[in-house]
Structure 1
């Protein structure tokens, strides 16, 4: 049986985080979906300890593949995962540390019915009291995060993740303005391939601004069928990633004192042929507020 949605999840050295992410994308955690509806393709981007199939639910439709020549960027791994996807609709989780809320898949598929060229995107949140590049210097650790998850009884009620999170920097305006990227999206596989997928010329740590480039191309192709979800999203687990460790993109990373953000911006200009500037497309909104704490996250107060 062909699944309704194939989800590509890229992981690199995420033995703690990746199993939670995959669990959050499968049934029965994902509400309103049957097990045969969802195919998960876990792409191990050359982790030091190879990802194994037995790390995940034995009865779920999960394929594990390993990419040994992807480099420091996930772009090649994503494209290879999409190539083997069996469903006509594909989803992508570029960062395998991102757990999903329980209605993410159902709401995404519903929103995508609007048009064949639909591109449905989500907001991204960080577990913990603040964005993790800040909270890690204020005492936030994996052990603190594990206790937060235990306190809300995860995975029993996944929408309680909204009680223990903060908006990621790219999503600080909520759904009232289009973000420059997304943490999870779905679209047709045909449309993904038509726009060229992720540009593998982005070879920088973590992919640099590859997600910004892909998001711009995808929203342009979708036009009025670009949709942001309300009430569902992804939640970043602490794993000291490229942009979520102390200092984030502002930290110096080379002998010249250049910040990670400056290096990303330079690579973007070289690949795309111009400096990055948000196209700021206007999204349609789809969904409902699923938890009282979600309102202030999706519709944050407007600040001057």
Structure 2
């Protein structure tokens, strides 16, 4: 049976985080979705300890692919995962450490049905009191995070994730301004392929600004059918990733340059110009699913 949604998840050395992420993307955690509705394609981007199918629940539609030629960028792994997708609608989680809220799949599919060219995106949050590139130097650890998840009883009520998170840096305005990227999106597989998917010329650590480039192309192609989901999102688990370890994109990358400088240079070389936010105007779809979500999606002040 063909699933309603194929979700591609890319992981690299995430033995702690990836099983939680996959659990959060499957039924019954995903509310309003049957097990047969969602296919999850886990793409192992050459982890030192290979990801195994038995790492995940046995009764879900989960496939594990391994990519050994993707380098330190997830772009090739994402494209290979999408190519393997069986559903007409695909979702992508570029970072396998990002757990989902329990209504994300249903809300994204409902929004995508509003227009055939729809590109449906969401906000990204960091578990913990602040963005993790800051909180890790203030005592935030994996052990602290594990206790936070235990305190809210995850995964029994996934919307309580809004109680223990902060807006990611790219999403600091909530939905009051369009972000430059997204942590999760849904669109037609054919539309993804039509715009070329992720540009595999982005070979820098973590993909650099590949998500910024893809987001700009996807929202441009969607036009008036760019939709931001309200009340659902993804939540980043601490794994000391390229941009979420101490310093973030401002950390020293050598030769007097920051990681952000390196990313900007690669973007200019690939795209042919410096990065300038396109600021697309989205429609909103969804509802506030938890009292703590209001101030996150609609911050009282913005920079």
Common fold by TM > 0.5: yes
Partner of 2:68: 68
- Quote the residue 2:19 is aligned against: 19
Matched, 1:248 2:248: yes
Tell me how far apart the structure 1 counterparts of residues 282 and 178 of structure 2 sit (CA, whole Å). Answer: 6
- Aligned residue for 1:78, secondary structure, equals helix
Aligned pairs for 1:178-257 (under 5 A) are 178-254=178-254, 256-257=255-256
| Distance in 2 of aligned mates of 1:113 and 1:54 | 34
TM-score (norm 2): 0.99
- Distance in 2 between residues matched to 1:98 and 1:143, nearest whole Å: 17
Distance in structure 1 (CA, Å) of the matches to 2:132 and 2:302:
22
- Distance in 2, Cα, partners of 1:225 & 1:202: 27
Say whether the 8 Å CA contact 2:121–2:185 is kept in structure 1: yes
In the other structure, the counterpart of 1:269 is: 268
Q: How does 1:30-69 map to 2 (within 5 A)?
A: 30-69=30-69
User: Quick one: distance in 1 between partners of 2:177 and 2:294?
Assistant: 15
Give 1:302 deviation, angstroms. 2.5
Q: Distance in 1 between matches of 2:276 and 2:151?
A: 41
What is the CA–CA distance in structure 2 between the aligned matches of 1:208 and 1:237, rounded to whole Å?
A: 19
Q: CA deviation at 1:303?
A: 3.6
Give yes or no for contact 2:173–2:302 (8 Å, CA) kept in 1. Answer: no
Secondary structure of the 2:212 match is helix
1:303 & 1:41 partners in 2: Cα distance?
37
Alignment partners' CA distance in 1, 2:124 and 2:10: 16
Q: Which whole-Å CA distance do the structure 2 matches of 1:245 and 1:182 have between them? A: 19
Rounded to whole Å, the distance in 2 between the matches of 1:163 and 1:257 is: 39
Stretches of 4+ moved more than 2 A in 1? Answer: none
**Are residues 1:289 and 2:285 paired?**
no
User: Structure 1: how far apart are the matches of 2:250 and 2:121?
Assistant: 26
Which residue of the partner structure matches residue 302 of structure 1?
A: 301
Q: CA deviation at 1:257?
A: 1.9
Distance 2:156 2:20 in 1: 13
CA distance in 1, matches of 2:72, 2:296: 31
Q: CA RMSD in A?
A: 0.5
For 2:293 and 2:275, how far apart are their aligned partners in 1? 30
- Count of residue pairs the alignment pairs up: 303
SS at 1:166's partner residue?
A: strand
Structure 1: any 5+ residue segments left out of the alignment?
none
Query: Counterpart in 2 of 1:147?
Result: 147
Alpha-carbon distance in 1 for matches of 2:28, 2:87 = 20
Give me the TM-score of the superposition, normalised by structure 1. 0.99
How far apart are the structure 1 equivalents of 2:151 and 2:35? 28
| SS class of match (1:187) | strand
Query: How far apart, CA to CA, are the structure 1 residues paired with 2:57 and 2:283?
Result: 35
Q: What are the Cα deviations for residues 169-194 of structure 1, in whole angstroms up to 9, with x where unaligned?
A: 00001011100000000000000000
Cα shift readout 1:180-220 (whole Å, capped 9, x = no counterpart): 00000000000000000000000000000000000000000
> How much has 1:131 moved relative to structure 2?
0.1
